[in-house]
Chain A
């Protein structure tokens, strides 16, 4: 019997179909469910009201991240400090209460394993290739870097997964984004994904699952792949993935939740069989030359508003689409930018290095390579480095990276979502600019009136040093 060539996405999908309805809606089994404090309280409340248990608490892992302040969590005597914001405290307390009540594993805010949910999933080996992974957070796409089908869900779906370990879904279309060639020096995974979003637009991936293919992704580290897949949602795609390979297996082996012994061997054999078959058809294909990708920054209030650092702020008239022209006008006004201004002339008062996109050890190392022996500029008022987890923080400290950060005049913080979304005390003041390694430059995202420029950790570090958007290649050579 010959089977039709299938994509990686199709193979994972097929392995998880519990039931198919007449209209094509499928009941899909979920292998791993990550839970955080913001999108889960209402789901637990509904379960409690209906007297419904969690079907597979053993496949569920809860950790607080969005609300947590990134300042010290314990005083000098080791006592846990209270959360000043009462609403945040209530939400954090709800997760601390709900998880044990429903039998779910819970990592507490003061545990060394605590971190951003999308950093700890892969770090703990909880997230695995070929698995279906969900979380009430759109950056769940991140885990696709391991070759998992991972996507964000709303709170009603969180409730649905808690109660049934399944989701009702229609299969998405498939898109191949191929990047081939050689990336230049200091052109990082973040630049690759920002460039891709600039090409396809924020709605370019709507209705699709993206598979990132080509030698650039094959040669990329797992952490780089996590960064790329993380921002699939900024291109409209609910999920993005990279085929698991030896790099993936090497990364996962020996992590706390990773299979062992015979199960590990069986897993690797299956993971190897998941790669897209030769001749499999994608509904849409995009091809990009690696050499065309430069260190990239955003200038507007949509992640598709990207430009190479050597470029200038565009004018509304540069865009063919009438509604985009209008949007650019509003964006530039909000961002306080004049068309034609060279991007390297744009001054920044704030720098944020962190978020589920760029807070892993490789990100901290890249930033420190730029910060080593340099100091932040005087016009930079606030600059923080926020490791993605307690374990990333410990690793960085073991490598002496915290000292480089502090000597450069930046702050070294506790792990959490921090200034990515302004739900915790880390915010960018109104009207001020931030060179940020996070994922969204939306209006008000980093605080009301905040102006965000997205970029890589090395580029954000360079901006901290010069006090303006900077081509890291010119600073470091």
Chain B
């Protein structure tokens, strides 16, 4: 994962609420065995709506997406995060996110910034004409008009994002603790510690 500390640029003022992962990337795009190239399928149906923000030349190449409540609800497909990344989006701002999507975004170095609805409304306004700046170190979002909003982020996630850490590698280094747990489980919960495959 690429380290991320700062995102600045134009933002796509999408604003829609309950954007589900089928809207972000429809299922027929999931038949891939790689992570690349999904930007072409991102928001496929929305792009066909007249006057949509995704085909607005003002938003071309914007690294930030602004949405409404409950962004990324629905399926666990990480393809949603890969599609955003492939579009060049590295930060999504919304009042709230689905649990699975925010986890997937984080694991791909996409910053999810949850802000109160009023702040999101203000940023939607700014995004129409001007850039937005997100700083992970100070956990703040600023605009050229002296707006400043701070956001919360889990300390461990922040650390991983800033350092671009490989979570799998980090956990593998805890192999002894995992082995200790497995040994304990074999004794206390033997019925979970292995499968009883009479099919073998």
B42 to chain A, nearest CB (A): 13
Interface presence of A366 (CB below 8 A): no
- Are B156 and A202 in contact, with the CB atoms below 8 A? no
Question: In the complex, what distance in Å separates the CA atom of A92 from the CA atom of B33?
Answer: 10
- Asked if A282 is at the interface (CB within 8 A of a chain B CB), the reply is no
Contacting residue for A170 out of B16, B17, B104, B154, CB 8 A: B154
Interface set, chain B 38-65, CB cutoff 8 A to A? 44-45
> Which residues on B sit within 8 Å (CB–CB) of A172?
99
Instruction: Name the A residues within 8 Å of B18 (CB-CB).
Output: 202-203, 302, 327
Known: A324-B17, A422-B28, A423-B28. A259 touches B191 (CB 8 A): yes
Q: Is the CB of B99 within 8 A of A90?
A: no
Contacts of B190 in A (CB 8 A): 259, 263, 266
**Which residues of B lie under 8 Å from residue A21 when comparing CB positions?**
156
Residues of A within 8 A of B150 (CB): none
- B131-139, B140-148, B166-174 - interface stretch: B166-174
Do A257 and B74 touch across chains, with their CB atoms under 8 A apart?
no
Could you say which of B2-10, B85-93, B177-185 contacts chain A? B177-185
Residues in A35-61 with C-beta less than 8 Å from chain B: 38-39, 41-42, 45-46, 50, 52, 55, 58-59
B171 to A166, Cβ gap below 8 A? Answer: yes
- Of all chain A residues, the one with the shortest Cβ separation from B20 is A442
A323 x B17 contact (CB < 8 A) = yes
Task: From B78, B177, B189, give the contact of A155 (CB < 8 A).
Answer: B78
Interchain CB contact under 8 A, A27 and B98? no
The smallest C-beta distance from A464 to any residue of chain B, in angstroms, reads 24
Given that A154-B76, A238-B100 are known contacts, is A263 also in contact with B196, CB under 8 Å in the complex?
A: yes
Cβ B45 vs Cβ A203 within 8 A: no
- Among A66, A202, A236, A442, the residue within 8 A (CB) of B23 is A442
A420 to chain B, nearest CB (A): 9
Number of interface residues of B (CB under 8 A): 62
Q: Is A65 an interface residue (CB 8 A)?
A: no
Q: Contact at A52–B70, with CB atoms within 8 Å?
A: no
Asked if B98 contacts A236 (CB within 8 A), the reply is: yes
* Inter-chain contact B33/A91, CB cutoff 8 Å: yes
A474 at the interface (CB under 8 A from B): no
Across the interface, B196 reaches (CB within 8 A) one of A152, A236, A258, namely A258
Q: Are A206 and B70 in contact (CB under 8 A)?
A: yes
Please name all residues of chain A whose beta carbon is closer than 8 Å to the beta carbon of B44 when the two chains form the complex: 444
A29-B185, A130-B192 as given contacts; A168 in contact with B76, CB under 8 Å: no
Chain B binder among A156-164, A220-228, A343-351: A156-164
Q: Is B33 a contact of A448 with CB atoms below 8 Å?
A: no
A113 to chain B minimum Cβ distance, whole angstroms, is 8
Which residue of B has the minimal Cβ distance to A60? B195
- Do residues B189 and A15 form an inter-chain contact, with CB atoms below 8 A? yes
Report the bound CA distance from A433 to B68 in whole Å. 28
Binds B, one of A131-139, A403-411, A453-461: A131-139
Contact of A52 (CB < 8 Å), options: B30, B35, B168: B168
Q: How far is the CA of A39 from the CA of B81 in the complex (A)?
A: 13
Q: Does A246 belong to the interface (CB within 8 Å)?
A: no
Question: Please, which residues of chain A bring their CB within 8 A of the CB of B196?
Answer: 125, 257-260, 263
Interface contact A323-B167, CB-CB below 8 Å: no
**Which single residue of chain B is at the shortest CB-CB distance from A256?**
B199
A39: chain B residues within 8 A (beta carbon): 76-78
Assembly CA distance A38 to B26 (angstroms): 13
Interface size class of A (residues with CB under 8 A): 35 or more
Q: Within the complex, what minimum Cβ distance (angstroms) separates A168 from chain B?
A: 6
Residues of chain A lying within 8 A (CB to CB) of residue B32:
41, 87, 91
When the two chains form their complex, are residues A444 and B22 in contact, meaning their CB atoms are under 8 A apart? Answer: yes
Q: Which of B17, B27, B181 makes the CB contact (< 8 A) with A423?
A: B27
Chain B residues with CB under 8 Å of A152's CB are 75-76, 100
In the bound complex, do residue B99 and residue A238 qualify as a contact, i.e. CB atoms below 8 Å apart? yes
In the complex, are the beta carbons of B191 and A263 less than 8 A apart? yes
Q: Does B103 contact A (CB under 8 A)?
A: yes
Known: A85-B31, A90-B33. Contact between A25 and B69, CB under 8 A?
A: no
* Closest A residue, CB atoms, query B17: A323
A18 at the interface (CB under 8 A from B): yes
Q: Which residue in B103, B169, B181 is a CB contact (below 8 Å) of A29? A: B181
Q: Which residues of B contact A128 (CB under 8 A)?
A: 191-192
B169 and chain A: residue at smallest CB distance: A50
User: CA of A45 to CA of B36 in the docked complex: distance in angstroms?
Assistant: 13
Q: A138-B75, A202-B73 are in contact. Are A67 and B31 (CB under 8 A)?
A: yes
Chain B CB within 8 A of A277 CB: no
The answer to the question of A229 belonging to the interface, with a C-beta cut-off of 8 Å to chain B, is no
- Is A118 positioned at the interface, with any CB of B under 8 Å from its CB? no
CB–CB B185/A206 < 8 A: no
Of B27, B28, B103, B177, most buried by chain A (CB within 10 Å of CB) is B27
Query: What is the CB-to-nearest-CB distance from B46 to chain A, in angstroms, rounded to a whole number?
Result: 9
Chain B residues within 8 Å of A105, by CB: 197
Determine the chain A residues whose CB is within 8 A of the CB of B108 once the complex forms.
Answer: 156
Q: Which residues of A contact B (CB under 8 A)?
A: 15, 18-19, 21-23, 25, 27, 29, 31-32, 38-39, 41-42, 45-46, 50, 52, 55, 58-59, 66-67, 85, 87-88, 90-91, 94, 105, 113, 124-126, 128, 130-131, 136-138, 140, 152-157, 159-160, 163-166, 168, 170, 172, 202-203, 206-207, 233, 236, 238, 256-260, 263-264, 266-267, 270, 302, 323-324, 326-327, 421-423, 440, 442-445, 448
Can you offer 26 A-B residue contacts whose CB atoms are under 8 A? A19-B174, A23-B155, A23-B156, A29-B178, A29-B182, A39-B77, A41-B32, A42-B33, A42-B34, A88-B31, A91-B31, A138-B100, A153-B76, A154-B107, A156-B108, A160-B167, A160-B171, A165-B178, A172-B99, A202-B70, A203-B70, A327-B17, A423-B27, A440-B74, A443-B23, A443-B45
Given pairs A27-B178, A442-B22, 16 additional interface contacts (CB within 8 A)? A25-B154, A27-B171, A41-B33, A85-B31, A87-B31, A128-B191, A140-B76, A153-B100, A236-B70, A323-B69, A440-B75, A442-B23, A442-B74, A443-B20, A445-B22, A445-B27
Q: Can you list the 4 inter-chain pairs with the closest CB atoms, starting with the nearest?
A: A154-B78, A152-B76, A41-B33, A154-B104
